[in-house]
Amino acid sequence: MRNVPETVHEYNIPRLNVIFVVTSLLLLGSVVWMVYRDYTREWKTYQNKSQEFEKLKLILDVKGAETKAQEANIDQLLLQLRETRQKLDEEHGIVAQLAVTESLLKTALGVATSEYQAQKSNLDQLVSQYDAMVELNPDDPLLSKKMEQIKRQREMLLQKKAVMDAAKTNHDTADAQLAKAKEAEIDLDKQVRKLTKERDLAGSKLDKLTNVRLNLVDRIPMLEFAAPFTRIQQVITEDQKYDLNFTQVSRMDRCSTCHAFIEKKDGLEPGQQGFRYSGLPHPWRSHPRLDVFLSPDSPHPVQKFGCSTCHLGWDRGVGFMSAAHTPQFYPVEKEYVYCDGLKRWMEPSTFSGLEQNYQSSHDALGSWKTSLEERRDKLAREISGKDTSQPDLAVKKDDLVRVKQDLGQVSRILASLPPVENVEKAKKESSTQARIWHDQYGWHPIHHKEDPMRPKEFVESSCLKCHLNVTWIPQKPLPEGTNGPNTGDKINQAIRLVEQAGCYACHRIQQLETTAKHKVEAGETLQAIANRYSSEPQMILASNGLTKPEDLKIGRDITVPIRVPTDRAAPTLAKIPAKVTQEWMEKWLLNPKEFRANTYMPQFWGLDNNRAGMKYTSQDGKQTFDWADRNIAEIHAITEFVFHRADATVDSPAPPPGNPENGKKLVAEVGCYGCHVEKETWEQIPAKDRMFRTRGPMLSGGGSKYSPGWLYAWLKDPSQYHEATRMPNLRLSDSDAADIASYLLQDKNHVFDEKKIPDVKPGVVDDMVVDYLQTKMPLNEAQEKCKGMSADEKNQFAGEKLVRRYGCYSCHQIRGLETEKPVSIELSDWAGKKVTQFDFGFIHMQEKNHYGFLHQKLSNPRSFDRISAKRPQEYLKMPQYNFNEEQIDLIMTAIMSLTSEKPTPASAAHLDDSQWQIENGRWLIKELNCAGCHVVEGRGGAIYAKIEQPFMRPPILAGVGIRVRPDWLYHFIKQPGDHKYRYWLNARMPTFNLTDTQMNALIRYFALLDKQPYPFEKATMAGFHPSQALVPAGERLLIDFKCLSCHAVVTPEKARENGKAAPNLMMVKDRMRPDGIIPWLNNPGDTSRPNPVTPGFGLMPPNWPDQGPSPFTNVLDGNVQTQIEAVRDYLMTYEGPPH
């Protein structure tokens, strides 16, 4: 070394070495770091854990399948199979021999057949020679010789045929024996496979997960890329797209990367022990209601709909934050516990679900292990030192091998399973989902994500994206053994509330409108178009800006509105002076809820931007006015204007004196509470009933409000006051109407009555008039013009301006303003707006998003401009509804569903022709509020809670299309008073003023709902003739079954006193479809299904319980179905009780 001359370098070698070492180490370090970061990515840790759970589940599946197989006696089957196979092996020689024999015989048969054929042709030849010889010379001596020859040949032919037949029989026998021997084996093999399939499937999955080599090698960092145990999972939904920079992008949902078991069903009965995916914490927990979502057999399979279609969020994100998870909107403080085993926070209920999973796995595995050990020892004893070629011992030997394998796996998994007691809660705290997420995932509010996930509370907002054109979002009944709110309840209630509160009247919401596009064809009348779409001629003209039917030119494209509200959202003001006084209206406008606590009429004055004590500057800038005075001036002007515009009305004469006690009784009895609530109990009514019972106003404060004459006339016939009113006619007699009026007038709101409206200050009115005049002219001209106006002119002028500003005409009919456009912005794409488009004004929010803005807007709409230098008419004008939190939540749910994002036609809920027609009826059922009194499609019956005795309740409307004749239904709906089928009911079917289009829509609805043909050729009596042979037996049965114990017609009073009554059988022949009586008699009052053919309150006992036997064996040989037919045929001729 010393001899080598030292090279001289420009640079310092040792230093360079140091740099090299350091950089190498840095590089190595960063590579290791990168690999480590990749190896421990969030989603990989979840997937690794999910494999642990998967192992647990699989081993339990194996056990379950094993138990099932044992119960199905698989040991016996295996033994049989083995024996059969062995027998087959032994018999193989015989079988083969048979086969050889068969083929030999077949050959022989072939030879014999051809010999037979040759023989036959030989014979035929001889016969024809013989014939020819006879013809030539009948006396030819050779003829007899020829005949001898023919006879011999004939005998030979017969012999050959016998040989052939024998061969055939032998062959067939052998063939059958062969097939049979084989068949037994095939059949057994099939049975065994069926029993072991489930086990083998779970077993092979488990093998892969627990394979030592795979687990050692394939989980090594870097190598794992080759055959990854963990990989990103994704669903690409062709149909579900979203808008990304003006292009439509398919959703690529990677959610199941972490939510590994999201679509896995538990496969257990309620209460059954076992492993439940639904009992795991997030992200492993399975989705709720798999019968509705994700499963391939559900209406929303994950392959088609993905996840972000409903939940929103960043579809490609595989991290907690990048997927844009959003915590609950309402910060609920609740208990959380920490699971050491999983290093996760969770709710106590989730924790106990997890514990149960561990516990049942431990128990099951432990007991299985013990039984496997026992089995192993037993099998080992039985075969030790014996010849295992015997079938029964061979089976045992195989069994032992499997038992040992299972035991190995069970032991391995048991060893790796965390002991139950280690999975324990470490801490308890009160926290919110957002705070827990912060601790767990470092979650923080996000501002830059465009579509963050929906908070859990609002996920049903997504339903409306696809389920357009329907009255109710379809719902599946809750699975058995569960209760609580159902999927879809919230969005359905939300839409009903938006309708009832009239949001759509001021804000156009296209999602709530149903229209059809139509091109007018030659010869098509307006009425024909209306009929075709179940629409109304006037509505078609109005929505196309037309005035006369002649304007419908051929080829013109028109919009046909379908399923529109039958009336405006609020009462008409066209004849208001007949109903209330001007003073009442002014006090009402000041604070509607003070008069009626549940009204949907909002408050416009005395709010956060126009409260008493708040000041504004006059138009000339010289004075300061108090908002209290301006409010009074505005209210007075509006009232003056509305009363002035109304029709001149003659005062209704005072009603005859009534009995309020009887009135109270009648209100409860005739059915008022199907649509109205009473002030004492309205807050306790469950939401599912409330949506029906708030169709009309609360029955309170009548004495403070109504003109007695008006009320009396209204009760008797609401349509004389307002033709389009939703209030139907209850056909009250004069005295009933007087009694009800006197009862309703008895209730007064004293606080309201004592309230005084302050005097209007002329200076404030002038300033208000100048404020509005200034939109057209300069200040001095406006002031000048104002001076020249009379007090009434000022009120009329300002009143109209104010009515237009606040949009009163949107909900109320006001003469001259009937066709004005909605007063406020359209909401059809509100949820699709960017947060930056919202003016939060003076409101400060920690997190600015749609939900926060909407919540503030709905709870306090005027809070956004509390202090302002605007002119009074520029202030925010959205009124205050004083909604409660539940209502705000519902309206938010509805509004958040309004986006312009459209599903592709393939995934939009499609309505076929019959569904479309059903929807027309459903809409009417909703508009007429039929479900206030009846249960329709499992919904409603709101009045039932007010009628204690089931036999006094209005009927359940199910199976109507099957049971009731359409012609009868038509007459009944038209003139309900003419029909006394349930003559004892106090509740009255009201008379609705329906058009023929509406009548047809309803009847068609009932028919199509029950899959009955429409129109109803088959439905009527045509073609039905009661069997004269059966009628006497039917009569006999009616007597024997003592049907008239309940069906005898008595007076309504007597029936109610008896506490029982049943329909008038004399009307059966007019009312019932002959086919429809049969299912009813077979199973009366079957309420076991959601929409039974034979609904009822269970009052009619099944006379042939459980389909028989009949208690009367002497009639028609006791044949149940014939007896039922006999009763039907008799009822179809029934004119009255038999003598």
Partner 1 sequence: MKKTGIWIATGALLVTSGMAFAQGSISGKAILQGAAPAEKAIKMDADPYCAKTHATGVTTKHYIVGPGGGLANVFVYVKDGLAGKTFPVPKEAKLLDQQNCLYVPYVMGIQVGQLLQIQNDDSTLHNVHCMAKNNPEFNLGQPVKGMKSEKVFTKPEVMVQFKCDVHPWMFAYVGVLDHPFYAVTKEDGSFTITGLPPGEYTLEAWHHKGGTLTQKIKVEAGEAKAPDFIFKPKT
CB of 1058 to partner 1, least distance (A): 5
Residue 360: Cβ-neighbour burial (10 angstroms; 0-12, 13-18, 19+):
buried
Binding-residue pattern over the window 241 to 260 for partner 1, x denoting contact by CB under 8 A: --------------------
Residue 1120 in the binding site for partner 1 (CB under 8 A): no
Other C-beta atoms closer than 10 Å to the C-beta of 586 total: 18
- The CA distance from 814 to 577, in Å, is 12
Please identify, using beta-carbon distances, which residue of 643 and 1041 lies nearer to partner 1.
1041
Contacts of 103 (CB under 8 A, 6+ apart): none
Please identify, using beta-carbon distances, which residue of 609 and 1103 lies nearer to partner 1.
1103
Residue 379 in the binding site for partner 1 (CB under 8 A): no
CB of 1041 to partner 1, least distance (A): 5
Residue 1041 in the binding site for partner 1 (CB under 8 A): yes
Q: Which of 80, 68, 374 is nearest to 199 (CA)?
A: 68
Question: Half-sphere exposure (CA, 13 Å, Cβ side) for 648?
Answer: 0
Please identify, using beta-carbon distances, which residue of 393 and 1099 lies nearer to partner 1.
1099
Please identify, using beta-carbon distances, which residue of 367 and 720 lies nearer to partner 1.
367
Structure tokens at 427: 């801490």
Residue 1042 in the binding site for partner 1 (CB under 8 A): yes
Amino acid at site 985: L
Please identify, using beta-carbon distances, which residue of 972 and 1097 lies nearer to partner 1.
1097
Residue 631 in the binding site for partner 1 (CB under 8 A): no
Q: Which of 762, 1101, 1109, 1138 binds partner 1 (CB under 8 A)?
A: 1101
CB of 424 to partner 1, least distance (A): 25
Residue 1099 in the binding site for partner 1 (CB under 8 A): yes
Please identify, using beta-carbon distances, which residue of 957 and 1061 lies nearer to partner 1.
1061
- The CA distance from 969 to 979, in Å, is 10
Gyration radius of the chain's alpha carbons? 43
Residue 373 in the binding site for partner 1 (CB under 8 A): no
Please identify, using beta-carbon distances, which residue of 407 and 1099 lies nearer to partner 1.
1099
Q: Which of 442, 484, 1059, 1136 binds partner 1 (CB under 8 A)?
A: 1059
CB of 487 to partner 1, least distance (A): 25
**13 to 2, 8, 23, 477, 644: CA distances (angstroms):** 18, 10, 15, 81, 105
Q: Which of 1100, 1115, 1127, 1131 binds partner 1 (CB under 8 A)?
A: 1100
Other C-beta atoms closer than 10 Å to the C-beta of 72 total: 13
Please identify, using beta-carbon distances, which residue of 162 and 1039 lies nearer to partner 1.
1039
Beta bridge partners of 519: 557
Residue 445 in the binding site for partner 1 (CB under 8 A): no
> Of 147-155, 621-629, 813-821, 1055-1063, which part binds partner 1 (CB under 8 A)?
1055-1063
Q: Which of 204, 422, 681, 1058 binds partner 1 (CB under 8 A)?
A: 1058
The Cα angle at residue 637 between residues 635 and 640, in degrees rounded to 5? 105
> Of 100-108, 268-276, 409-417, 1098-1106, which part binds partner 1 (CB under 8 A)?
1098-1106
Task: Name residues contacting partner 1, limited to 926-955 (CB under 8 A).
Answer: 951
**At 575, phi and psi to the nearest 5?**
-130, 30
Q: Which residue has the tokens 């001259």?
A: 816
Residue 688: Cβ-neighbour burial (10 angstroms; 0-12, 13-18, 19+):
middle
CB of 63 to partner 1, least distance (A): 16
Q: How many residues bind partner 1 (CB under 8 A)?
A: 19
> Of 422-430, 606-614, 939-947, 1054-1062, which part binds partner 1 (CB under 8 A)?
1054-1062
Residue 329 in the binding site for partner 1 (CB under 8 A): no
CB of 981 to partner 1, least distance (A): 18
Structure tokens at 264: 């896995």
Q: Which of 459, 1103, 1124, 1130 binds partner 1 (CB under 8 A)?
A: 1103
**At 476, phi and psi to the nearest 5?**
-100, 140
Please identify, using beta-carbon distances, which residue of 71 and 139 lies nearer to partner 1.
71
Structure tokens at 1016: 């109803």
Task: Name residues contacting partner 1, limited to 1077-1096 (CB under 8 A).
Answer: 1085
Please identify, using beta-carbon distances, which residue of 709 and 1102 lies nearer to partner 1.
1102
Q: Which of 231, 237, 271, 242 is nearest to 253 (CA)?
A: 237
Largest CA distance in the chain: 159
Please identify, using beta-carbon distances, which residue of 67 and 543 lies nearer to partner 1.
67
Q: Which of 330, 970, 972, 1112 binds partner 1 (CB under 8 A)?
A: 1112
Please identify, using beta-carbon distances, which residue of 491 and 1100 lies nearer to partner 1.
1100
CB of 1104 to partner 1, least distance (A): 9
Other C-beta atoms closer than 10 Å to the C-beta of 430 total: 9
> Of 180-188, 692-700, 993-1001, 1097-1105, which part binds partner 1 (CB under 8 A)?
1097-1105
Residue 790 in the binding site for partner 1 (CB under 8 A): no
CB of 1105 to partner 1, least distance (A): 5
Please identify, using beta-carbon distances, which residue of 1105 and 1138 lies nearer to partner 1.
1105
If you ran DSSP here, which 8-state letter would residue 603 be given? B
If you ran DSSP here, which 8-state letter would residue 957 be given? B
Residue 139 gets the label, from left (phi > 0), alpha (psi -120 to 50) or beta, of alpha
**817 to 179, 302, 499, 811: CA distances (angstroms):** 90, 50, 21, 11
Q: Which residue has the tokens 């209760």?
A: 483
Please identify, using beta-carbon distances, which residue of 954 and 1096 lies nearer to partner 1.
1096
Q: Which of 29, 348, 1013, 1105 binds partner 1 (CB under 8 A)?
A: 1105
Q: Which of 74, 62, 40 is nearest to 412 (CA)?
A: 62
- The CA distance from 1139 to 1134, in Å, is 12
Rounded-to-10 torsion of CA 292, 298, 302, 306 = -50
Residue 194 in the binding site for partner 1 (CB under 8 A): no
Residue 478 in the binding site for partner 1 (CB under 8 A): no
Q: Which of 3, 483, 1028, 1045 binds partner 1 (CB under 8 A)?
A: 1045
Beta strands 247-253; 235-244: pairing state: antiparallel
**At 384, phi and psi to the nearest 5?**
-65, 130
Residue 1046 in the binding site for partner 1 (CB under 8 A): yes
- The CA distance from 823 to 950, in Å, is 47
Residue 1102 in the binding site for partner 1 (CB under 8 A): yes
> Of 27-35, 648-656, 967-975, 1102-1110, which part binds partner 1 (CB under 8 A)?
1102-1110
Q: Which of 938, 913, 1007, 997 is nearest to 566 (CA)?
A: 997
Question: How much of the chain is in helix, strand and coil states, percent to nearest 5?
Answer: 55, 5, 40
CB of 188 to partner 1, least distance (A): 26
- The CA distance from 921 to 470, in Å, is 11
Rounded-to-10 torsion of CA 772, 778, 779, 783 = -80
- The CA distance from 1113 to 610, in Å, is 83
The contact set with partner 1 (CB under 8 A) reads 951, 1040-1042, 1045-1046, 1058-1060, 1085, 1098-1103, 1105, 1111-1112
